[in-house]
Structure 1
Amino acid sequence: MEEAHAMPVTSFFPLAGIHKLIAIFLVVLSWILVHMWSLRNQKGPRSWPVIGATVEQLKNYHRMHDWLVEYLSKHRTVTVDMPFTSYTYIADPVNVEHVLKTNFTNYPKGEVYRSYMDVLLGDGIFNADGEMWRKQRKTASFEFASKNLRDYSTVVFREYSLKLSSILSKACKAGRFVDMQELFMRMTLDSICKVGFGVEIGTLSADLPENSFAQAFDAANIIVTLRFIDPLWRLKKFFHVGSEALLVQSMKLVDDFTYSVIRRRKAEIVQARAGGKQEKGEQIKHDILSRFIELGEAGDDGGGFGDDKSLRDVVLNFVIAGRDTTATTLSWFTYMAMTHPDVAEKLRRELTAFEAERAREEGVALVGGGDGDASFAARVAQFAGLLSYDGLGKLDPKGILEDDVLPDGTKVRAGGMVTYVPYSMGRMEYNWGPDAASFRPERWINDDGAFRNASPFKFTAFQAGPRICLGKDSAYLQMKMALAILFRFYRFELVENHPVKYRMMTILSMAHGLKAEVSISFDFGTQISSVINTIPRTSPISPSLRFSALEKLVQIPCVEGWQWLLL
């Protein structure tokens, strides 16, 4: 009896195993089918259970922004599912205004974004929310509105633009090609350190010393950007391998440089006070770092600026604001001008006429086009002296706190991320018309030469709403100063077969630099009056009308790839 009873039990287990496998298979299949059904109306790449669209994003990472253009040209809002979160990309100005202004409080930077960027940005203004962000913005806003800082910036930007001109002049004489992006990066790094932190670091010196900080900073920028689509970055960080190991090495160099800047500035302050040049309690200097140091000393630092770590965060955030964005815009503008020589020639003629008119206004006799480097350098310096602030004026991701519905009906969930994509927005025909992808500077200028301004929720290079860029005017000042000098006196030609494509990072710099052959524009001493007479005018020539082209020429949509908004 016992044996007879044992037989069915033994034969049952294999059947049970098969049944379990079938049941598991059916459950998984049902889950997949339900998941696919729930996404039937989703606009964007195909999403798979668990991994979301990770595979497609990684496959297209090197061309991420063009990949997004393809989707956003069909749908104004695209949702991309990823492990543990989802990204909602928007290109419709109505949605952008909702996120950046109308419902601003629901879209802070958020914990997810901060976890990605903390190693680089810390608690700086680009990574902060709440009271810490308000305190930093209030302080920075006060400084940027200062006439003293504006006047000082004009002097510094002119100085470094002339240094760049000197390097280009020597390259012309030696017949060497130059990497314009590298030179722009050096110029803007020196400028932000001088204007923002009150120190001279000399990367644009004639011998172009090795710039280990910039190399490490760029490497760190690339790696933290990769974190947004790399589901394994925390694991690599834990085991200290791969890109995360390189990030640690890069940040060591970045922090060493940053803390040295802080120590140097503090030492200069102490030395000035010891020499009786500065009484404690008075403003130390017209740079941003000094202002934050003052706040820390006075205890008036609700943002917490009393320690070097907080000052380090301030410095690095302003470096990325003052170096990368401006240098990258200058690089892409120069490239577009090189590949559109008709635009470069129009700009050169406008600048020649602008120079003549400013010289007449100031009663300056322009140096003639004599032989030798001294004559050329003198004329460049003379032109730079005419480029005052007033004269030139004539011319990110967010988190989601609560569920929300965008104006176009798209539902976004708390804990996800939403980002407007300036690169894509600048190429959308529904934003700019059928020629959106064309480089046509005239789109920014009315028939009378006045600016044709676009909504900041449509042209988003400087953000909009409460987080709109504080340094917008400063950036325009430096870019116009540099470009006016370069395109008045030099011609640029792209080195043959040099590849130009963007590098995936928070600011879309060129992956291989911008190698160019440079020559002096030999017409700098020619008959300026004849140039002026060839420019059609319906009213008396005004520098504000003529130089308006440069104001908008530098607005190439778009240097910034995206801006993350946390839900």
Structure 2
Amino acid sequence: MEILTSMAIIVVTTIFILLSFALYLTIRIFTGKSRNDKRYTPVHATIFDLFFHSHKLYDYETEIARTKPTFRFLSPGQSEIFTADPRNVEHILKTRFHNYSKGPVGTVNLADLLGHGIFAVDGEKWKQQRKLVSFEFSTRVLRNFSYSVFRTSASKLVGFIAEFALSGKSFDFQDMLMKCTLDSIFKVGFGVELGCLDGFSKEGEEFMKAFDEGNGATSSRVTDPFWKLKCFLNIGSESRLKKSIAIIDKFVYSLITTKRKELSKEQNTDILSKFLLESEKDPENMNDKYLRDIILNVMVAGKDTTAASLSWFLYMLCKNPLVQEKIVQEIRDVTSSHEKTTDVNGFIESVTEEALAQMQYLHAALSETMRLYPPVPEHMRCAENDDVLPDGHRVSKGDNIYYISYAMGRMTYIWGQDAEEFKPERWLKDGAGPRICIGKDFAYRQMKIVSMALLHFFRFKMADENSKVSYKKMLTLHVDGGLHLCAIPRTST
């Protein structure tokens, strides 16, 4: 009886705490947000509404943006403003760049996973990392090194898909790409042969799964008003995040230790080695934790965005076979190859930098894919001071403002009545202003090399033509449940 009484008290107390917390949030939400002031963006709902629509968040935001390009959700501490108006985006990213930071909410949301890496910080730390990374991306040594790595990865990927093509079996293209791009970024970024695609690294695969789990759990913080309570109680998504970070940290700190030992033994062309050398000048601030954060941020840029974009690209080509064939013809014209070419290494050798530069239709098709399925579907900034957006709406100091890349790619007032159609003849630029993507050319180079190799040797189609493909809510736009394809050989590879 005493046990039952104790359990009842615990249950009642827990319910009371949750209800009290919800009441507290509700009171905070409706306090001092200028709800009826027409100078501010119109209020659509509260943060709870985002929570209830989190499984289809970007489509939900897109539907609102069709009639209200800029709108607002109320939350306990500040207003959450969302915009699909390109004038506002330019204002935030370029015109008034210094008034919009990651802010305390963005920093706290990302801190456990990405720490003080370039995607999670502002100010001097952001400038320092950007300066060093942008310099490395601009060097001829890294360019040549990455080019060699990407061609090797593409050749290996052709070999794996050839086995499925000959057997007639379907495969998860996204999973294969995630492993391939993880191998590539570890080689280029950290000078390590990981071997995930080959199945040689069980630790690498565990790290990849943990990082993807952490990515999803971190993303859920944006719409979950209860995430701090979950974190305190160590339950749900926050419990999964904690377990994932333990696996991530063990793997990354081991990598840093190994690289430090190797630093003086050989010539290093990878990005991590450059940061390790830099850390020797300032060991107090550039400690192992800081290097860990840099590694994970580089990995987000090098693995997730590229693999996700290529997955959506192949999906769009399966849905638009005429575009797929048009790209194949461009590949043959540019490389002077023909459909009977069976030598994979010989074909890869023909994919020169000059050839990549001539692949204009492929470039456009990749850009068109990212218009409809941007690698990062929405971005958050925080107003450092009161401001007025170009559309006339006021922003208060401390307000969070999100520009919705996913919605912007679907707005008829930006792209015309055919906004939802896949037309490679138009394309969307990746970023603008001081935070423009410094790895943009790097990413396009890898995507083009992989695309040319795969499309030259195979025709792709959906494993199930009737399957519905959707996204998984993460910091980056992954295909939910993977992308299951069939490959048909174009040659006798």
- Tell me the CA shift for residue 42 of structure 1: 6.6
- Residue 193 of structure 2 is aligned to residue 200 of structure 1: yes
Give the one of 366, 380, 399 matched to 1:397.
380
Provide the rounded CA distance (Å) in 2 between the counterparts of 1:36 and 1:264.
55
Alignment of 1:172-191 (within 5 A): 172-191=165-184
- Residue 263 of structure 2 is aligned to residue 269 of structure 1: yes
Identity among equivalent positions (%) equals 38
Change in CA separation of 1:342 and 1:412 when aligned onto 2, cut-off 3 Å: same
- Tell me the CA shift for residue 168 of structure 1: 0.3
- Residue 219 of structure 2 is aligned to residue 225 of structure 1: yes
Partner of 1:106: 99
- Tell me the CA shift for residue 476 of structure 1: 0.4
Give the one of 323, 342, 349 matched to 1:385.
349
- Tell me the CA shift for residue 207 of structure 1: 6.9
Partner of 1:416: 399
Partner of 1:324: 304
Contact (CA 8 Å) 1:259, 1:312: kept in 2 or not? yes
Provide the rounded CA distance (Å) in 2 between the counterparts of 1:417 and 1:348.
44
Partner of 1:453: none
Partner of 1:349: 329
Give the one of 31, 36, 39 matched to 1:38.
36
Contact (CA 8 Å) 1:384, 1:485: kept in 2 or not? yes
Partner of 1:442: 425
- 1:198-224: per-residue Cα shift (whole Å, max 9, x none)? 111100116785711111111111111
Provide the rounded CA distance (Å) in 1 between the counterparts of 2:257 and 2:67.
52
Provide the rounded CA distance (Å) in 1 between the counterparts of 2:38 and 2:408.
26
Change in CA separation of 1:479 and 1:141 when aligned onto 2, cut-off 3 Å: same
Give the one of 250, 264, 268 matched to 1:256.
250
Change in CA separation of 1:33 and 1:311 when aligned onto 2, cut-off 3 Å: closer
Partner of 2:362: none
Provide the rounded CA distance (Å) in 1 between the counterparts of 2:98 and 2:435.
11
Provide the rounded CA distance (Å) in 1 between the counterparts of 2:38 and 2:134.
47
Change in CA separation of 1:239 and 1:333 when aligned onto 2, cut-off 3 Å: same
> Which AA in structure 1 matches 2:381?
K
Partner of 1:465: 433
Provide the rounded CA distance (Å) in 2 between the counterparts of 1:34 and 1:481.
53
- 1:226-247: per-residue Cα shift (whole Å, max 9, x none)? 1112111111111212211111
- Residue 129 of structure 2 is aligned to residue 129 of structure 1: no
- Tell me the CA shift for residue 298 of structure 1: 3.0
Give the one of 147, 151, 168 matched to 2:161.
168
Contact (CA 8 Å) 1:157, 1:481: kept in 2 or not? yes
> Which AA in structure 2 matches 1:517?
C
> Which AA in structure 1 matches 2:489?
I
TM-score w.r.t. the length of structure 1 is 0.75
- Tell me the CA shift for residue 37 of structure 1: 6.5
> Which AA in structure 2 matches 1:258?
V
> Which AA in structure 2 matches 1:490?
F
- Residue 479 of structure 2 is aligned to residue 510 of structure 1: yes
Provide the rounded CA distance (Å) in 1 between the counterparts of 2:271 and 2:35.
54
- Tell me the CA shift for residue 83 of structure 1: 2.3
> Which AA in structure 2 matches 1:502?
Y
Look up the SS of the partner of 1:397 in the other structure.
Answer: strand
Change in CA separation of 1:345 and 1:391 when aligned onto 2, cut-off 3 Å: closer
Contact (CA 8 Å) 2:33, 2:74: kept in 1 or not? no
Partner of 2:209: 215
> Which AA in structure 2 matches 1:479?
M
- Residue 58 of structure 2 is aligned to residue 75 of structure 1: no
Change in CA separation of 1:172 and 1:35 when aligned onto 2, cut-off 3 Å: closer
- 1:93-115: per-residue Cα shift (whole Å, max 9, x none)? 21111100111111011111101
Change in CA separation of 1:292 and 1:498 when aligned onto 2, cut-off 3 Å: same
Give the one of 86, 89, 98 matched to 1:96.
89
Partner of 1:143: 136
Partner of 2:368: none
TM-score w.r.t. the length of structure 2 is 0.85
- 1:456-497: per-residue Cα shift (whole Å, max 9, x none)? xxx35x321111111000000000000011111101111114
- Which of 135-144 and 497-506 deviates more? 497-506
Provide the rounded CA distance (Å) in 2 between the counterparts of 1:212 and 1:154.
27
Provide the rounded CA distance (Å) in 2 between the counterparts of 1:327 and 1:348.
20
Provide the rounded CA distance (Å) in 1 between the counterparts of 2:281 and 2:200.
41
Provide the rounded CA distance (Å) in 2 between the counterparts of 1:94 and 1:223.
32
Change in CA separation of 1:399 and 1:32 when aligned onto 2, cut-off 3 Å: closer
Provide the rounded CA distance (Å) in 2 between the counterparts of 1:296 and 1:36.
47
> Which AA in structure 2 matches 1:242?
G
Provide the rounded CA distance (Å) in 2 between the counterparts of 1:37 and 1:520.
60
Provide the rounded CA distance (Å) in 2 between the counterparts of 1:504 and 1:250.
17
- Tell me the CA shift for residue 36 of structure 1: 9.5
Q: Which structure 1 residue ranges, 5 or more long, are not aligned?
A: 1-27, 48-52, 273-277, 279-283, 360-365, 370-374, 445-458, 525-567
Look up the SS of the partner of 1:435 in the other structure.
Answer: coil
Provide the rounded CA distance (Å) in 1 between the counterparts of 2:34 and 2:426.
43
Provide the rounded CA distance (Å) in 1 between the counterparts of 2:93 and 2:34.
32
Contact (CA 8 Å) 1:221, 1:505: kept in 2 or not? yes
Contact (CA 8 Å) 1:43, 1:75: kept in 2 or not? no
- Tell me the CA shift for residue 431 of structure 1: 1.0
> Which AA in structure 1 matches 2:385?
E
- Tell me the CA shift for residue 173 of structure 1: 2.1
Q: How many residue pairs get matched?
A: 446
Give the one of 428, 452, 462 matched to 1:494.
462
- Tell me the CA shift for residue 43 of structure 1: 5.6
Look up the SS of the partner of 1:211 in the other structure.
Answer: helix
Q: CA RMSD in A?
A: 2.5
Give the one of 227, 234, 249 matched to 1:240.
234
- 1:265-286: per-residue Cα shift (whole Å, max 9, x none)? 222224x1xxxxx5xxxxx422
- 1:34-76: per-residue Cα shift (whole Å, max 9, x none)? 98971678766643xxxxx133212211111111111111122
Contact (CA 8 Å) 1:44, 1:71: kept in 2 or not? no
Provide the rounded CA distance (Å) in 2 between the counterparts of 1:145 and 1:286.
13
> Which AA in structure 1 matches 2:348?
A
Contact (CA 8 Å) 2:102, 2:382: kept in 1 or not? yes
Which one has a bigger Cα radius of gyration?
1
Contact (CA 8 Å) 1:154, 1:388: kept in 2 or not? no
| Runs of 4+ with deviation above 6 angstroms | 31-37, 39-42
Look up the SS of the partner of 1:516 in the other structure.
Answer: strand
Provide the rounded CA distance (Å) in 1 between the counterparts of 2:406 and 2:121.
24
Alignment of 1:530-545 (within 5 A): none
